[in-house]
Amino acid sequence: MDTLPEELIGTIIQYVEDQESIKSCALTATLFREPSQRILWHIWRFGGDGDDANAYQTLYSMFDESPHLSQYIRIATFCLPPPDRVLSQIDYLQPLLAKFTHLRHFLLASDEGQIEWRDLSPRISEALVVFLASQTLEALHICSIDHFPLDLMALTLSASATVGFIDVSVGEDPHMIDAQRPMCVENLILSENSRDVAEALIRPQFASCISRLRRLWIRIEWEQELSGILASAGSQLEEICFASSDRTLDLKLFPALPALRFARIQLHLAAPYQRSWLVDAMRALLASPAVEVITIEISDPTIGRLLIALDALAPLLRTGFAPVLQWELDVEDYHDDAGARLVDEFRERVASTLPEMYRVGRVVVRQAEGSDHGLFWPGGTVIMAPRLPSYLD
């Protein structure tokens, strides 16, 4: 056993799905301890109502005795405790966070429902500010927080390459921040209930914060905010994802984006205007000279709605449409194999309507696949729709 290569042992343990079995492996032999611990500590969640009052001190002491454990943590979730919860060892939070030196992904969220930032203990907010000022992450997500300090947003945008705001409102309350860091955010996600953040980002003081954006996910109906963000970031934007529900966009506000290569449009196609608007959206995207792939993601599709959309787009697609067009059908809620049958039926209609484009692979129909890492925009070429990773549920 001692002659087995470490890489082989690590690979074997990665295929063990049961956490209790991995814990047993860590105690079986020295050879298994490190690869088992790396898996057990790779993702860590702490804080919130589920921890005891001494959780910060307990975890800090553990890392103090075994510092290598904190270095194994790559993905961490910190759940903000309810404001009325008494934490006797709160002074340990800041030194505890300082031990997370190898983090890649960090989620800051409320344990249950929305939480007011201004209701947090000053010790907690100060510890988080110091922590963010010291980080250079791959992904940082702020979730379910109301009155997130306006002057903390710049620090947030400088702490990670990918930043997501999910159900976040912005407050004007001053928060003393001394750290001055260069902006590094390149991927920005603004979820449905974070319009406050979008409104803040079009203020002049944030223009430099988003000037390096390469990827953007935003609601299509936020016309003023979208226009303002594109004015600051449009020259370098390579990927964009529009989400739309019950309104449309004045396409006059959508400029040609010289660096745009990939675009995704998320629709339900339930409203008649969306089908006619889809043609205008395609024309607007075609004004960007470098666009390579346009993806139309349809939620809860029906064959009738899909065929109406296809008939509306077909004349445009037959007139020298250059990018690859991908139809992605989200049929996750369909029972049995009904979803797969719908995808096959629509694929056949596309093939008969646009036979040459379909034959050479310039129009594609496929079933949408969920992604545990959509929020992190892994190094693929086509923009992912933001979905919370399963370990953040």
What pLDDT was estimated at residue 3?
65
Summarised one tens digit per residue, pLDDT across range 3-45 is 666 677 667 677 677 777 777 777 777 777 777 777 778 888 8
The residue among 137 and 372 whose pLDDT is bigger is 137
- Distance (Å, whole) CA 21 – CA 213: 43
Q: What is the pLDDT of residues 353-386, one digit of tens each?
A: 999 999 999 999 999 875 433 443 333 333 333 3
> Given a cut of 80, is residue 337 above it in pLDDT?
yes
8 A C-beta contact, residue 323 and residue 354? no
- What mean pLDDT do residues 167-195 have? 77
Distance, CA of 98 to CA of 60 (rounded, Å): 10
CA 368 to chain CA mean position, Å: 17
pLDDT of residue 36: 79
pLDDT at 247: 58
Neighbours of 88 (CB within 10 A): 11
Give the burial string for 3-12 (b: 16+ CB within 10 Å, else e).
eeeeeebeee
Per-residue confidence band for 390, with pLDDT thresholds at 50, 70 and 90: very low
Q: Whole-model pTM?
A: 0.84
Interatomic CA distance for residues 265 and 284, integer angstroms: 12
pLDDT over 50 at 319, yes or no: yes
